[in-house]
Amino acid sequence: MAKAQYDREEVIDKSLELFWRNGFSGSSMQQVVETTGLKPGSIYYSFGNKEALFKEALDHYARASLARIRTTLDSAPSVGEGLCLFLERMAGEAAKQEFRSCFLVKTQLELAADGGELHAFAAAKLREVEALFQSYLEREYDRETSRNRAAGIMLHIFGMRVYGYQPNSVDRMLRVLRESLPWLPWPDEP
């Protein structure tokens, strides 16, 4: 059997960019072929089909997101301060003109009507993110409080990701975060 003549991670990264930009339904197999530079047979042999490649792209994105959250929270003096930093960074990203909403959130919104396997997969990945927030919060709060606060953080993340780019919106988003999440130890405003 011939060995693959391409970098699998690079193909997943390129596919992720295509799917993130166009969505699952808006990305044709021809676009996948053009984006990755692979022949259709190589894609089908290596990944199965467009849906399987999309799932790998979602999984890759989710793993990177979880790693980013862990890095931020592990390097902060406290869980609360880490959450503040993470949310402040997200608000800053959402206010940039080249902003793209969260790939998992976009997938949930795009595929909500069909409720199929890809929708369920994206929902499961979002639950992993929420569970990660809860696990960190449980270092400082009881389980029920942590569960509710993790859900609250997710709602704010969804909101920022869907709200998206709005000129000069970062200050407003930060004010709203501070007001709606008063239990977090926000740094003093400048």
Q: pLDDT, tens digit, for every residue of 138-189?
A: 999 999 999 999 999 999 998 888 776 666 678 888 999 999 999 999 998 7
Residue burial 25-55, b: 16+ Cβ < 10 Å; e: rest: eebeeebbeebbebeeebbeebbeebeebbb
pLDDT digits (tens, 9 = 90+) for 24-72: 999 999 999 999 998 888 898 999 999 999 999 999 999 999 999 999 9
Per residue in 57-115, pLDDT (tens digit) is 999 999 999 999 999 999 999 999 999 999 999 888 877 767 778 899 889 889 998 88
Positive/negative CA dihedral, 120, 21, 17, 132: negative
Residue 1: band (very low, low, confident or very high) from pLDDT cuts 50, 70, 90: very low
Structural domains of the chain, with CATH:
8-180 (1.10.357.10)
Predicted pLDDT of residue 143: 98
pLDDT at 73: 98
